[in-house]
Chain A
Amino acid sequence: MTERDRNKSDNGAEDAGAEAGLEALFDEARRSPPAPSRTLLARIEADARALQTPARGAVTGAGGRLRGWWRLLGGAPGIGGLATSAVLGFWIGFAPPAALDALDDSLSPLTGAAEDVNAALPEDGFGWTMAEAEG
């Protein structure tokens, strides 16, 4: 065995020893981890209680039903949209804007035609009154 081989072998053995020693320390560290104090656990549980919302199943009675309706109508965005459309509809009916008059004018041929059709209907209601008279 040359000097170089001997050194290599020594280094290998030394490294194996260091590896085994380190693994032994890791094993001991795994077996006996530092444990949290009771005070820390109590602080963590107190935080949890402070941040916890009440159980969903506990919501009953009128408040619960109201919340049910609220959710059914889409919550705040849904209720907001519903209120906006109601106010807008009421306002258009109460004081129609000028643009709506112009729209009415543009539709008047159709409206007029409908009136003409009504005027052209026979007064006897397509013979219905005649049939009654004959009867």
Chain B
Amino acid sequence: MDAMQNRTDAAQAEADADLLARYAAGDAAAARLLSARLTPRLYAHAVRVLGDTAEAEDVTQEAMLRLWRIAPDWRRGEAQVSTWAYRVVANLCTDRLRRRPATPLEAVAEPSDPAPGPEALLQAQARDAALQQALNTLPARQRQAVVLRHIDGLGNVEIAQVLQIGIEAVESLTARGKRALKAALAGRRDELGYEDD
């Protein structure tokens, strides 16, 4: 199963590299195809990490802009296009999170929107908002590692390349991040529609 997944990942990486090469050679359609492949993933990651759609749009556009700029000098085989793009997005997100004023944990742990009622909280949108609020309580690197691993579905090796850290550091960040998420959501299990076994 892993071997099949690896082959699929390799084929995807090749397809991305082909499109980037075609773009650099002047193929106008290649940019649209590559953007359609990468933008949704980069944007979703940025939204999860930043918790703000306007900032996520800016970060995604900036990352893609840098990709278009580097296209003529892209050295195939040195890195995967998607990994490189994730790394740019991660760095841009880190910069923005560092510039933000420190927010007390208790301030972000509570829902910003008062609960409209138990019925509405059972809806997927409310559960999604709860997850986002819990993610917002994590330190930046833990948040990025958890999102990359458990929502974007990247492997530890690729996450290590994206965050430019060792694999052990990735494992530590994701484990601590999950523990912190469970703690942040601990008091909300009933309202979110799942209970202890």
Co-assembled chains A and B: yes
Chain A residues proximal to chain B, CB less than 8 Å: 13-22, 24-26, 28-30, 32-37, 40-41, 43-45, 47-49, 51-58
Cβ-closest 8 pairs across A and B = A55-B26, A17-B196, A48-B31, A33-B44, A21-B194, A36-B43, A18-B182, A34-B47
Number of A-B residue pairs, CB cutoff 8 Å, is: 119
B178 touches A22 (CB 8 A): yes
Considering the chains assembled together, what is the distance between the CA atoms of A52 and B26 in angstroms?
6
B7 touches A (CB below 8 Å): no
Q: What number of B residues sit within 8 Å (CB to CB) of A? A: 46
Considering the chains assembled together, what is the distance between the CA atoms of A24 and B194 in angstroms?
9
B60 — which chain A residues lie within 8 A by C-beta?
A: 36, 40, 44
B28 — which chain A residues lie within 8 A by C-beta?
A: 49, 52
- Apart from A20-B194, A36-B40, 15 more pairs, CB < 8 Å: A17-B197, A20-B197, A22-B181, A22-B185, A25-B128, A28-B128, A29-B48, A29-B151, A36-B57, A41-B35, A44-B61, A49-B28, A53-B72, A55-B26, A57-B26
A56 touches B26 (CB 8 A): yes
Minimal beta-carbon separation of B183 from chain A (angstroms):
8
Considering the chains assembled together, what is the distance between the CA atoms of A6 and B14 in angstroms?
54
Minimal beta-carbon separation of A80 from chain B (angstroms):
23
Q: Which of B47, B68, B151, B186 contacts A18 (CB 8 A)?
A: B186
